[in-house]
Amino acid sequence: MRFSRILAHRMRSLLGRSRVEADLQREIDLHIEQLTKEYVDAGMTQAQARSAARREFGPLDLTTEQCRDTRRVNLLEDLFKDLAHTFRLLARAPGFTLTALLSLALGIGANTIVFSVFNALLLKPLPIAEPERVYSVNRSRDPSNSFPNYREIRDRNVVFESLFAYRIAQMALDNNATASRVWGYLVTGNYFPALGIQPALGRFIGPADDAHVNASPYAVLSYSCWRNRFGGAPDIAGKDVRINGRLYTVLGVAPRGFHGTEVFYWAEIWVPMMMQAQIETNPWLDNPYDFNAWMAGRLKPGISAAQAAANLQTIAVQLARERSINEGMRLTLTQPGLVGSAMREPARAFAGGIMLLAVLVLLAACANLAALLTARTLDRERDLAIRVSIGAGRSRLVRQLLTESLTLSILGGAAGCALAVLLLRLLSQWRAPLEFPVQFDVNPDWRVFLFAFSAAAVTGILFGVGPAHRAWQADPAPGLKGIAAHTSGRRWLVRDLLLPLQVALCCTLVISSLVAVFGLMRSFRTPLGFVPDGAAVAGYDVGLAGYDQTRGREFEQRVLQEVARLPGVESAAYSSSVPLSIDQSTTVAYPEDTTDFRPKNAYSVTYYQVSPGYFHTARTRLLAGREFTPQDGPHAPRVAIVNQEFARRVVGTADAVGRRFRGGAENLVEIVGVVEDGKCQTLTETPCLALFRPMLQDYSSTVVVAARSARPESELAADMRQTIARLDPHLAVYGLGGLRQMLGLVYLPMRAAVITLGAFGLLALMLSITGIYGLSAYTVSRRSREIGIRMAIGARPAQVLRFVFGRIAALVSAGAAAGLALGIAAAGVLAAIVYQATSRDPLVIGGAALAIALVAIVAAFGPARRALRVDPVQSLRHD
């Protein structure tokens, strides 16, 4: 009530300012009139009385000003005045304004984008009800556990309201026309109830739908699956779809924006866990040795994570006692969404590192603007001095200057934010060119906007404080005399540090990006142990289509024959998987003389089943021995081809042809060939041990067909798809395309790092250009009189340039030297992400130095030309 009146009164004061002033005037007039009347009554003449009244009343202006002050509208009024003044100033110097806005927009935009990614990965909770009560249950670093263990933990714990299990699974989904491989989840019946979300259509899988092993044929579709694969049919709930050749009933559609319980794996379909054996080919629900089920759950209200962890640990100890496979099991809780803690740590490190770089860019922008603004304030010293001398309060001046810098930063921040929102929208729609549905929603939410606003405000204050500090100390006398303009002398000031600081930051970023780019280039040339270019691949799993081993083998033979006959195909082969793809299997191998088959004597080896001609097709060099032939069949002796590393480590000699190793006590295998070393799982791994076995001796239902030809890979891949579709139209074909393309996942972190660093490097370069340009242009315009005098008394152009730019060059060089050192140190950190990144590359250091030199020359070119064109007569007449 009172506040509304106060507010109304203040608004009236502010808006009806002239009326309020007039009121006050009338009130005072009346008062003076009465005083006058009293004096007249006391016997004075009208004129005497009037002046006596005036005298008694005191200084009129002071009173009215005091009244105005009490009205408290001044803060607001001043703000409007300051803003108007600011806009006038900014409009008067469009070059400065644009430079400032551009650097701010870039700096804040970059930060907003990076923060959005950080937010999407680590801050934004899953789109479920009360996400703070949902936790992943990790066995070691990831949440995988055996299904029998899951059952025990689910039944014994007293802390979870609901504990569910889920499993990433691929399946062949047939919508009556074509079969396609889709990625989804196997989930226990309590999965959806625990998450507390509402379906967009129909209903979710409930406990009753997950009750019968192999007899719970139900499915829930994701929103986008429903829209894209079923045309958004409104009557989808209750319809049957074919999954892996069997009929499943669609129960409902998940809400838009819900993609499952992992942040960047976007599932399309959910199927009850009890259908596991039909979805995947190997049943593991009752197997305590297969750790395939991921576990998470919703805590009971009021139970803390620490209490829950304690309870889980008790159960872990019990389970370890009951089953030896569980020995040493530790159960811990983490936030869900990033494979327990397995990816949370790397994601945090990566996003945090990039965030740090982004902040560096923003700091560089700050330093840049602070330098420019300080320079401008020097120019305005006289203006400020005049204002101080006619009675402006210091705080008032500081307020004006801070208004200016904040206006700039908020405007720049808004522009940067708009830019970021656009780019983020694109990024959210982008799907990594991978077989695996990696995608994440980086669209900004309130956290991002709050961050952008705070970044802008902090930036504005940071770069506004320097000039404001000067204004605070402003002494009107020298400013008015025009002396201040020439005292910048030889003293080193804090503001002199701004330019080298910025150049150093820029240098660091440029080196980092160069290191990353060179590393990526090198990693593209690194020997992989096969030649991906020129090979097209297609994958399928006949197990998903219900083939048994005999039919599967027949089918694989026919596919191979047909593919080999395609036009232009030089060679073709198939294998269980290709190195560096996401699907890698490992097994163990023992030296031939092993008698103790405990795990400590075993070598873990990456394991492939391949057809005859595989090495020829993959262009893996055979160093000794022979390739597999059709004679290496099920009844022939067990043979294998190994890589050099395997030969050296397991057999003990590189000359391993004819020697034997064991896959187990009863499993003796002869080595018939040795191939070159290559990469198996990642590009940065230590040399891996690779074991190849003939597919004819060791069946795999998952197959990748590879064909090498001179034709474009995508064209050949399309032909291969047609060929397979002709042989079985219901078989889901995946992983279709060039082999190089299929390796996307291993290159993804590196590509991301290179793109980000490249962008930051460019940003930093642009900021450096504006920074150096700003300071040079300012120096030239400020010292044009001095330049004029020097030229008038006969200075040569080179002398003028040395005189004008000597100091700037020294500052830039100092910054560059510091930046180079810092960059080389920082690049060491990068080596962990970008394969073969090294900062000891002379190319990198030379490149960075060259880049900075070029930037400096480009930036200083305009001002230098202006300096040389200074007309002595004009410049001396000026001011």
Q: Return residues touching another protein (CB under 8 A).
A: 1-3, 5-6, 9-10, 23-24, 26-28, 30-31, 33-34, 56-59, 62-63, 66-67, 69-72
CB-nearer residue toward another protein: 24 or 438? 24
Q: Give the residue with the Cβ less far from another protein, 10 or 619.
A: 10
Supply the minimum distance, in Å, between the C-beta of residue 22 and another protein: 11
Compute the least distance from the CB of residue 48 to another protein, in Å.
Answer: 19
Alpha-carbon gap, residue 762 to 851, rounded angstroms: 10
User: At its nearest, how many Å lie between another protein and the CB of residue 52?
Assistant: 13
Residue closer to another protein (CB basis): 17 or 616: 17
C-alpha 360/C-alpha 507 separation (Å) is 11
For 600-694, where are the E strands, in sequence order? Answer: 603-610, 622-625, 639-643, 660-664, 667-675, 690-694
Question: Per residue in 574-590, is it b (16+ CB within 10 Å) or e — as a string?
Answer: bbbbbbbbeebeeebbb
Residue for token pair 């805590």: 299
Give burial (CB, 10 Å; 0-12/13-18/19+) of 231.
exposed
In whole angstroms, the minimum distance from the beta carbon of 79 to another protein comes to: 18
| CB nearer to another protein: pick between 1 and 177 | 1
Q: Which is nearer to another protein, 38 or 698 (CB)?
A: 38
Q: Which residues pair with 535 in a beta bridge?
A: 708
Which is nearer to another protein, 31 or 85 (by Cβ)? Answer: 31
Per-residue CA distances from 594 to 390, 643, 652, 660, 691 (Å): 98, 20, 13, 11, 18
* Pick 5 or 600: Cβ nearer another protein: 5
Instruction: Tell me the residue type at 539.
Output: G
Beta bridge partners of 608: 692
> Minimum CB separation from another protein for residue 872, in Å?
58
Whole-number minimum distance, CB 36 to another protein, in Å?
Answer: 12
Distance of closest approach, residue 65 Cβ to another protein, in angstroms: 9
C-alpha 490: how far from chain center: 45
Q: Which of the 8 DSSP states describes residue 621?
A: -
Separation between Cα atoms, residue 614 and residue 612, nearest integer Å: 6
Toward another protein, which CB reaches closer, 9 or 382? 9
Among residues 72 and 399, whose Cβ is nearest to another protein? 72
Residue with smaller CB distance to another protein, 69 or 533:
69
- Comparing CB distances to another protein, the nearer of 16 and 231 is 16
Q: Which residue, 490, 558, 868, is CA-closest to 703?
A: 558
539: left (phi over 0), alpha (psi -120 to 50) or beta: beta
Nearer to another protein, 31 or 565 (CB): 31
User: Residue 238 burial by CB count (10 A; 0-12/13-18/19+): exposed, middle or buried?
Assistant: exposed
Residue 15: CB minimum distance to another protein, A: 16
**Shortest Cβ distance from residue 62 to another protein (Å)?**
7
Give least dist CB 53 to another protein, A: 10
The terminus-to-terminus CA distance of the chain in angstroms comes to: 58
Nearer to another protein, 26 or 877 (CB): 26
CB 241 within 8 A of CB 173: yes
Any idea what the Cα angle at residue 569 is, between residues 574 and 642, rounded to 5°?
Answer: 35
Min separation Cβ 76 and another protein, Å: 13
62 vs 793, which CB is nearer to another protein? 62
Question: Least distance to another protein from the beta carbon of 73, Å?
Answer: 10
* 292 vs 275: CA distance, rounded Å: 14
Q: How far apart are CA 518 and CA 511, in angstroms?
A: 10
Nearer to another protein, 23 or 715 (CB): 23
Q: At what angle do helices 713-727 and 549-564 cross, to 10 degrees?
A: 140
Helix (H, G, I), strand (E, B) or coil at 145: strand
The least distance separating another protein from the CB of residue 38, rounded to whole angstroms, comes to 9
Phi/psi class of residue 482: alpha, beta or left (left: φ > 0; alpha: ψ in -120 to 50)? left
Question: How far lies 834's CA from each of 103, 266, 634, 786, in Å?
Answer: 28, 26, 44, 52
In angstroms, what is the minimal distance from the CB of 57 to another protein? 5
Q: What minimum distance in Å lies between the beta carbon of 31 and another protein?
A: 5
From the CB of residue 15, how many other CB atoms can be counted at a distance below 10 Å? 11
Q: Collect contacts of 602-606 with beta carbons under 8 A, ≥24 apart.
A: 603/646, 603/649, 603/650, 603/689, 604/689, 605/646, 605/650, 605/688, 605/689, 605/690, 605/691, 606/579, 606/680, 606/681, 606/688, 606/689, 606/690, 606/691
